[in-house]
Amino acid sequence: MEVIKAPNDKISLIHKSVSYFGGTSYLGLATLPAFQDEVIKGIRKWGTAYGSSRHANVKLKVFNDVEKLLASQLQTEACVTVSSGMLAGKLTLDYLAQSPTRFYHYPNTHPAILAPNSLPLFIDNTLHPTLLTETIEAIAICADAVPTATVNTVDFSFIETIPKQKKITLLVDESHSIGITGETGMGIFSSIPTTHVKQKILVSSLGKAIGLPGGIIAGDSSFIEDIKATVMFSTASGMSPAYLEAYLQSADIYKAQQDKLKCNLQYFFDGLQLNYAFLFNTKYPNIYNFSPEFYESLLQKDIVITHFNYPTPKDVLSRIVLSANHTKADIDILKKSII
């Protein structure tokens, strides 16, 4: 389906406009005029891009300012921005693989943090047997905070059952949770206990709820300094500083959009009885339906949802996505169409 304008609560096709409940712009920032104005101001201050190494002799203050702010918001010692969430995952995996480390992945882990030699964390709903040995070794457990095709954050209490001889690094991808989950709206990373782990590392795309083209890596200060010292980081351009400036200036906008999304979720689920075909969480903006005919049934009513083949899980994803920009009228149309 080819559209001719940025999707919002509607998408513009060549001959008509249809309702849109897809994508990942959960806070609706990509098409929000007030946020766009801040980006434009940022462009006028910093230009459209800055294609230079972060280690070059000329350093832009905005990078340091945003990274300090993000570290504070995420409750980590340090944070660094990169040009994408995929690069954040790649940098982190490559760094961890430099020393002998056995990798494990939670079900439906995003490819951004899926190491080539990674083992499944669970086999038949039980921890992988090599995790339960008394062998002293370094292991890395990789998981999305909210895995693909699910609607709840991961319960990491299983880590407490792993023998203490294992030196655990926990790598969490917050791409689909940062900005919309957690007590402060900045994800669940800070709430994950550290008793049984050697270190926690956060990676995330900022291109979803946060509405910025880039990614982040956060964790202990020493780890972040090591990431900055890698060849890949040193030779890559950073994020567009204009978008970082917009982030600095948009605290009130983020809060307002988070509040709108919460109201939209409450309005959508109020009085709605969804059957067993739906997978949902009344506090989360993705609502899945794996019935083969569901997408087409909505399309016939001029409603478009997310629907495409995805590598993890290897199935067709059909999901309704609510955003902060949907109106009550939009939501009424959707509710009537799925009852």
Residue pLDDT, tens place only, 246-291 = 999 999 999 999 999 999 999 999 999 999 999 999 999 999 998 8
Query: Is residue 24 predicted with pLDDT exceeding 70?
Result: yes
Query: Is residue 312 predicted with pLDDT exceeding 70?
Result: no
The mean per-residue pLDDT over the stretch 107-127 comes to 96
Query: Is residue 314 predicted with pLDDT exceeding 70?
Result: no
Residues 163, 79 share a domain:
yes
The mean per-residue pLDDT over the stretch 190-204 comes to 94
Residues 158, 185 share a domain:
yes
Domain of 179, CATH number, reads 3.40.640.10
Residue 109, phi then psi, degrees to nearest 5: -65, 140
**Cα–Cα distances in angstroms (integers) from residue 273 to residues 18, 148, 149, 153, 214, in the given order:** 25, 24, 20, 23, 38
CA dihedral 267, 37, 56, 67 (to 10 degrees): -30
Residue 313's pLDDT band, with cuts at 50, 70 and 90, is: low
Question: In the prediction, which pLDDT does 339 show?
Answer: 81
SS3 percent helix, strand, coil of the chain, rounded to 5, is 35, 20, 45
Residue where a domain terminates, one of 239, 261, 281: 239
Residues 219, 179 share a domain:
yes
Number of domains, the chain: 2
Domain of 325, CATH number, reads 3.90.1150.10
Question: In the prediction, which pLDDT does 4 show?
Answer: 79
Residue 95's pLDDT band, with cuts at 50, 70 and 90, is: very high
Residue where a domain terminates, one of 188, 218, 239: 239
The whole domain housing 109 covers: 50-239
Residues 133, 257 share a domain:
no
Share of the chain above pLDDT 70, in %: 99
